[in-house]
Amino acid sequence: MSTHSQTAHCSSWDGLAARELDRNSWRQLTRNEIPAVVIRGFATAEECSRLVERAQAIGFEAYEKVDPPIDRIGATVFEHEGPDVSTYFGKAEHFRGLQSAIFSQSFSPLERLMSRLRESVGVPVQIAADPKHGTYGAGLIRRIENGTLLHIDFAPAEQPAWWVAQVEAQLAWNLYLELDPENPGKTYVYERPWRPEDQLRKIPGTYGYEPSLVEGVKKYELRPTLGDVYIFNTRNFHQVDPSGGRRTTVTSAIGTLPDERIVLWS
């Protein structure tokens, strides 16, 4: 169990709507004062379609030991928790080649997002790099179509020995490339940050937590929209509904360092 003592921001969310990305909304999001930010019209339908077509040609693989199943192209720290650091970095290097083959058919969502963050927030933005092991992977291509368990994504709690555990706030961005228009699979983000004692409420043998942790807690319902990017604070408990069809995204973690730099990894 992590003994990470960082204090979660407990200020109440200012409303239940996503704000457009700018310097102020970014700071509010990292302080957990708003539930999400959005970049509308981030990619065209044609750009999204070309990325999906190439990703399908390369093929997805299922996360290891995850139920309900989630498919992805890329390497994840989640699947290499503990001391399995070098294996992850080897897979991340391989993934960069696959990623280039996919992005070359349309555009690089990763580079576009990093550019937008630099412009909007005004701080350096880069792919996370471990001085000993090398550059992390970033920009996972993923399908979550059967929903998820209630969970968090927060490196200081889940990967405390990794370089990315030094982040002060952790968020995630999702660009929605393919959705079922009737049932796109909502994401629910709860105004309830992870605390170390919550590890006692984790469901054994899974990545999920007991649903009772968020009973009666305010939640933001994120209904994904094609071509838009949504960013939310993943220290907050969150879960995804099953979708009515294919639900393909480009995604990664985003962390803020003590010197305000922004780093991305998957």
**Rounded average pLDDT over 103-131:** 98
Q: Region 145-150: what's the mean pLDDT?
A: 98
Q: Is 78 helix (H, G, I), strand (E, B) or coil?
A: helix
Which pLDDT belongs to residue 81? 76
Which pLDDT score, from 0 to 100, does residue 5 have?
A: 40
CB 200 within 8 A of CB 159: no
At 182, is the pLDDT very low, low, confident or very high (cuts 50, 70, 90)?
Answer: very high
Q: What is the mean pLDDT of residues 154-161?
A: 95
- Given this model, what pLDDT does residue 10 score? 54
pLDDT at position 11: 60
pTM score, whole prediction:
0.95
Residue 7: what pLDDT? 42
Mean pLDDT of 16-29: 97
Separation CA 30–CA 168 (nearest Å): 9
Predicted local distance difference test score (pLDDT) of residue 4: 44
Angle between helices 109-121 and 23-30 (to 10 degrees): 100
Mean pLDDT of all residues belonging to the chain: 94
Percent of the chain whose predicted confidence (pLDDT) is above 90: 91
Provide the pLDDT for residue 206: 96
Domain ranges in the chain? Answer: 19-265
| 124 cis-preceded (ω within 30 degrees of 0) | no
Distance between CA atoms of residues 147 and 150, nearest Å: 10
The stretch 74-90 carries a mean pLDDT of 88
Question: What burial letters (b/e) apply to 20-44, b meaning 16+ CB within 10 Å?
Answer: ebeeebbebbbebbbbbbbbeebbe
Strands 169-178 and 248-256: antiparallel
**Cβ proximity of 235 and 154 under 8 Å:** yes
What mean pLDDT do residues 101-110 have? Answer: 97
pLDDT of res. 84? 73
- Say which residue, 24 or 8, is predicted with more confidence: 24
CATH class in words for 19-265 = mainly beta
pLDDT at 65: 86
| C-alpha distance from residue 66 to each of 62, 135, 173, 234, 241 (Å) | 8, 25, 21, 18, 15
**pLDDT range class, residue 242, cuts 50, 70, 90:** very high
Residue-level pLDDT at 2: 38
Answer yes or no: is pLDDT of 3 > 60.
Answer: no
Which of the 8 DSSP states describes residue 155? H
Segment 159-166 mean pLDDT: 95
Average pLDDT rounded to a whole number, residues 69-92: 91
pLDDT tens digits for 52-77? 999 999 999 999 889 999 999 999 99
CA-CA distance, 110 to 259, in Å (whole number)?
Answer: 22
Pull the structure tokens for residue 145.
């179509």
- CA pair distance 94, 23, nearest whole angstrom: 34
Closest to 224 (Cα-Cα) out of 196, 193, 245, 197: 245
Q: Return d(Cα 87, Cα 75) in angstroms, integer.
A: 10
Give CA separation, 196 vs 5, 77, 167, 170, 212, in Å: 7, 20, 16, 16, 16
**Of 256, 252, 259, nearest in space to 95 by CA:** 252
d(CA 150, CA 128): 26
Q: Is the pLDDT of residue 212 over 50?
A: yes
**pLDDT level of residue 140 (50, 70, 90 thresholds):** very high
